[in-house]
């Protein structure tokens, strides 16, 4: 009996592995197709993708330098904005990737798992480009980073990505019948750029503190940046709380996705 | 022994009739999936529900080619998409073994800005093939599609025929265990179609094929088994001829039960049809040389088909086609009024009188069949069987379906002689040497 159960579990695992391998191959093909097509259509070609991450800095840094927006005290504004924008973009991309994947690759012939994975691959590629562009700028402007702190910063991004991924999966599931939701969510996410400690600090007031700890984007962006540069972590309690919520959200999102996976095509049709 | 490649067991699939109901149901389902316990119930689609498939069971084995026929809305495409795993059944089970290829949308996965050559590995990957497999298959695909230098141009600039050729070439080189085809075993121009058909016949030998089609001759030639779907249910599963005969009867509007009975009209004349809103039943008669109505005429005697059609709606380009069939169903000839007479316009309430004169038809003796097909431009108003006609008498021996007027010369050549005895005979009194 136990041997039979073990064999059945082994078969299920092999089947799942085969499905996942196939989905990853399809996702890679979809993502590659989209990348090639986008590069052909773009006015600046691949250069447009490289320049993309620099636009927010080019817009906001002059405002910070001119005193129109608050200036960070102990960190160079360029480092502050570059690391802040990198972290914020990573989290927003991770949250929107499943919905974007299902929206972009919503064809009857594409399995929903492959579509979501393709969305994540697209997000990963954009993150890689931003890393290559923004990190050198940040490090040069800061005159170096704390290596141990950087490792802690990357570790802190784990729960942040879990939260983003969990919320993203739930959003993708709910939004499956509405192809316009990912575009709306992208617009809404852009609005969070200003109050999320991404490009400039908020004043030290009670409302700003409340707005920060209630905003996971701000909490994790500020924490990761501070860890990488100084080794210290602001809002540790909020980070811990949001990390727990992130674990719960990811569990919920994955559970929902696995349970709804066979029905997703019906909703996407 | 053939192994089972596709199994559908008691499969039911429903769709909401309105998008709003569907979306409300989806939101409820997402909530249940996130926080509920136990297996998810079938999607609650509210009041407006249509059953696309109802309790359908089907097994397809390797080496089998199964044709699925049915009227529009019978559930053919739903069955194909469920078999492909693109949709999940509301009830029942779908199981597949081995590699799947679908020819449901041949240009699925194409991106207009990519070249044909770039498209091949990408679409292959979407079909589940590895890079190595696609690298090996690409030269064959390039050769098969025959697009030459056009493969290095973006597919957005292809004609629809070129895109279909490329899509077809990729699909048939995926070496499937199960091939699902929605309409059409071939695409493109005549030579390419022959190439497609040859490839499909080769695939048929080693894979299981499910072909959904309205092209009955294609189904008859390609498939060894026919499934007839009627309003989401399997009305027939078995031999090709019986299945197609049932489908033709369904196309005439008979219920499956009634369709099983013989109405005396040969199957090759079907489907019969009449647009009741536009034309009364056609009044037809065969006339002999003197204008008398007949049902039997001597071989070679002149014949006239008289047809009267009272219109219930105006027509703009009325014309008639009359195919004639031998008793075995061979279409011997077809006659079209618009080759000799321009299509006519007429108003509702008017009657159009048409005659087709055959001064010397020379049809071989026996019963003859045919249909009169009344068209208004490209649309069909009616397709009705001709009155019975039997040709009697004729040559003492005859072959085939008709005997043309002919003259024989038979001579014996003498050695060194330049003049010959010649005998001329008409074909009606002579016979070819065996």
B109 Cα to chain A: minimum distance (Å): 8
Q: How far is Cα A58 from Cα A61, in angstroms, rounded to an integer?
A: 6
pLDDT of residue B322: 94
Q: Nearest CB to A36: which of B30, B102, B118?
A: B118
The answer, yes or no, to whether residue A64 has pLDDT greater than 80, is no
Between A51 and B318, residue with greater pLDDT: B318
Hey, are the CB atoms on A26 and B128 less than 8 Å from each other? yes
pLDDT tens string A179-233: 788 888 888 888 888 888 888 888 888 888 888 889 999 999 999 988 988 888 8
Q: What is the pLDDT of residues B56-114, one digit of tens each?
A: 999 999 999 999 999 888 999 999 999 998 888 888 999 998 888 888 888 888 888 89
Q: Quick one: tokens of A200?
A: 């400039």
**How far apart are the C-alpha atoms of B245 and B267, rounded to whole Å?**
6
What percentage of residues in chain B have a pLDDT greater than 90?
Answer: 41
Q: What integer pLDDT is reported at residue A109 of this predicted model? A: 80
Contact check, Cβ <8 Å, A26/B29: no
CB-CB under 8 Å, A109 with B104 = yes
Cross-chain Cβ contact B114/A37 below 8 Å: yes
Min distance A171 CA to chain B CA atoms (Å): 10
Statement: residue A70 has pLDDT above 50: yes
Q: Which H, E and C letters describe chain A, residue by residue?
A: CHHHHHHHHHHHHHHHHHHHHHHHHHHHHHHHHHHHHHHHHCCCCHHHHHHCCHHHHHHHHHHHHCCCCCCCCCCCHHHHHHHHHHHHHHHHHHHHHHHHHHHHCCCCCCCHHHHHHHHHHHHHHHHHHHHHHHHHHHHHHHCCCCHHHHHHHHHHHHHHHHHHHHHHHHHHHHHCCCCCHHHHHHHHHHHCCCCCCCCCCCCCCHHHHHHHHCCHHHHHHHHHHHHHHHCCCCCHHHHHHHHHHHHHHHHHHHHHHHHHHHHHHHHHC
For residues A156 and A147, give the distance between their C-alpha atoms in angstroms, rounded to a whole number. Answer: 14
Q: Which of B49-53, B226-230, B387-391 comes out lowest in average pLDDT?
A: B49-53
What pLDDT does A10 receive?
76
Predicted confidence band of residue B185 (pLDDT cuts 50, 70, 90) = confident
For residue A259, list chain B residues with Cβ-Cβ distance below 8 A: 33, 40
- Residue B118 forms contact with A (CB below 8 Å): yes
Query: Cβ–Cβ of B104/A265 closer than 8 Å?
Result: no
Alpha-carbon span A161 to A168, nearest angstrom: 10
Top mean-pLDDT range of A2-6, A200-204, B19-23: A200-204
pLDDT for position B259:
44
Mutate to test the interface with B, among A24, A25, A29 (most CBs of B within 10 A): A29
Contacts of B35 in chain A (CB under 8 A): 252
Higher pLDDT, B423 or B349: B349
Chain A residue closest in CA terms to B38: A259
- With DSSP H G I counted as helix, E B as strand and the rest as coil, what are the percentages for chain B, rounded to 5? 30, 35, 40
Q: Which residues of B touch A173 (CB under 8 A)?
A: 30, 33-34
Can you give the pLDDT at residue B43?
65
pLDDT score at A262? 78
Residue B42 is predicted with a pLDDT of 67
Instruction: Return the pLDDT at B432.
Output: 39
pLDDT tens-digit readout, A11-40: 777 777 877 888 898 899 999 888 888 888
- A49-69: average pLDDT: 78
Looking at chain B, which residue has its C-alpha nearest residue A254? B34
Answer yes or no: is pLDDT of B21 > 60.
Answer: no
Q: Provide mean pLDDT across the span B267-296.
A: 90
Residues of chain A in contact with residue B113, where contact means CB-CB under 8 angstroms, are 36-37, 40-41
- CB contact under 8 Å between B86 and A108, yes or no, is yes
B295 vs B272 pLDDT, higher one: B295
pTM, full prediction? 0.70
User: Is the CB of B30 less than 8 angstroms away from the CB of A256?
Assistant: yes
pLDDT score recorded for residue A212: 85
Query: Picking from A3-7, A114-118, A168-172, A194-198, which range would have the lowest pLDDT averaged per residue?
Result: A3-7
- The ipTM (two decimal places) reads 0.78
Does the pLDDT value for residue B213 go beyond 50?
yes
pLDDT at B426: 45
């Amino acid at each position: 009996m136990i041997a039979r159960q073990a064999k059945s579990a082994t078969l299920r695992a092999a089947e799942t592995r085969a499905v996942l391998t196939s989905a990853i191959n399809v996702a890679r093909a979809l993502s590659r197709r989209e990348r090639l097509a986008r590069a052909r259509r773009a006015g600046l070609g691949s250069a447009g993708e490289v320049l993309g991450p620099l636009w927010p800095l080019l817009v906001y840094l002059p405002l910070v330098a001119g005193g129109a927006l608050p200036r960070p005290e102990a960190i160079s504004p360029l480092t502050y904005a570059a690391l802040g924008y990198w972290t914020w973009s990573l989290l927003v991309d991770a949250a929107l990737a499943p919905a974007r994947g299902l929206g972009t690759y919503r064809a009857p012939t594409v399995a929903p798992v492959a579509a979501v994975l393709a969305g994540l691959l697209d997000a990963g590629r954009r993150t890689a480009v931003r890393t290559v562009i923004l990190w050198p700028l940040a490090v040069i402007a800061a005159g170096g980073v704390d290596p141990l702190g950087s490792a802690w910063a990357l570790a802190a991004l784990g729960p942040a990505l879990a939260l983003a991924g969990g919320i993203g999966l739930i959003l993708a599931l709910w939004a499956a019948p509405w192809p316009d939701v990912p575009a709306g969510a992208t617009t809404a996410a852009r609005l969070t750029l200003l109050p999320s400690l991404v490009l400039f600090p908020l004043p030290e007031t009670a409302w700003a503190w409340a707005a920060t700890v209630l905003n996971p984007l701000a909490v994790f962006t500020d924490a990761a940046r501070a860890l990488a540069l100084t080794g210290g972590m602001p809002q540790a309690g909020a980070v811990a709380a949001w990390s727990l919520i992130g674990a719960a959200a990811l569990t919920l999102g994955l559970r929902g996705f696995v349970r709804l996976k066979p029905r997703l095509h019906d909703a996407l049709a | 022994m053939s192994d089972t490649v596709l199994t559908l067991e008691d499969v039911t699939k429903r769709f909401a009739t309105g998008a709003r109901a569907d979306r409300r149901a989806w939101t409820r389902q997402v909530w249940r999936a996130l926080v509920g316990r136990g297996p998810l119930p079938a999607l609650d689609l509210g009041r407006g529900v249509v059953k696309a498939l109802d309790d359908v069971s089907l097994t397809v084995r390797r080496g089998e080619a199964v044709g699925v026929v049915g009227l529009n809305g019978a559930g053919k495409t739903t069955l194909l998409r469920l078999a492909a795993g693109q949709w999940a059944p509301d009830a029942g089970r779908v199981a597949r073994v081995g590699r799947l290829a679908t020819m449901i949308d041949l240009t699925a996965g194409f991106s207009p800005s990519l070249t044909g050559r770039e498209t091949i590995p990408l679409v292959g990957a979407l079909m589940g093939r590895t890079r190595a497999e696609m690298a090996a298959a690409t030269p064959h695909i390039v050769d098969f599609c025959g697009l030459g230098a056009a493969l290095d141009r973006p597919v957005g600039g292809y004609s629809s025929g070129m895109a279909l050729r490329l899509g077809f070439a990729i699909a048939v080189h995926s070496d499937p265990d199960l091939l699902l085809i929605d309409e059409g075993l071939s695409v493109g121009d005549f030579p390419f179609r022959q190439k497609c058909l040859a490839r499909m016949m080769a695939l048929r030998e080693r894979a299981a094929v499910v072909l959904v089609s309205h092209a009955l001759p294609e189904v008859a030639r390609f498939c060894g088994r026919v499934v007839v779907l009627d309003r989401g249910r399997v009305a027939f599963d078995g031999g090709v001829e019986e299945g197609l005969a049932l489908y033709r009867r369904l196309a005439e509007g008979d219920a499956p039960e009634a369709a099983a009975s013989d109405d005396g009209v040969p199957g090759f004349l079907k489907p019969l049809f009449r647009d009741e809103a536009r034309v009364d039943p056609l009044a037809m008669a065969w006339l002999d040389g003197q204008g008398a109505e007949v049902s039997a005429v001597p071989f070679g005697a002149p014949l006239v088909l008289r047809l009267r059609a009272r219109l219930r709606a105006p027509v703009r380009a009325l014309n008639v086609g009359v195919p004639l069939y031998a008793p075995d169903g061979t279409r011997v000839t077809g006659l079209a009024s618009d080759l000799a007479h321009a299509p006519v316009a007429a108003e509702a309430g008017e009657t159009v009188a048409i005659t087709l004169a055959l001064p010397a038809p020379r049809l071989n003796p026996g019963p003859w069949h045919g249909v009169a097909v009344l068209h208004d431009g490209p649309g069909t108003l009616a397709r009705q069987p001709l009155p019975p006609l039997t040709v009697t008498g004729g040559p003492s021996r005859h072959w085939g379906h008709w005997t043309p007027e002919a003259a024989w010369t038979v001579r014996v050549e003498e050695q060194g002689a330049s003049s010959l005895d010649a005998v001329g005979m008409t074909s009606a009194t002579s016979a070819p040497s065996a």
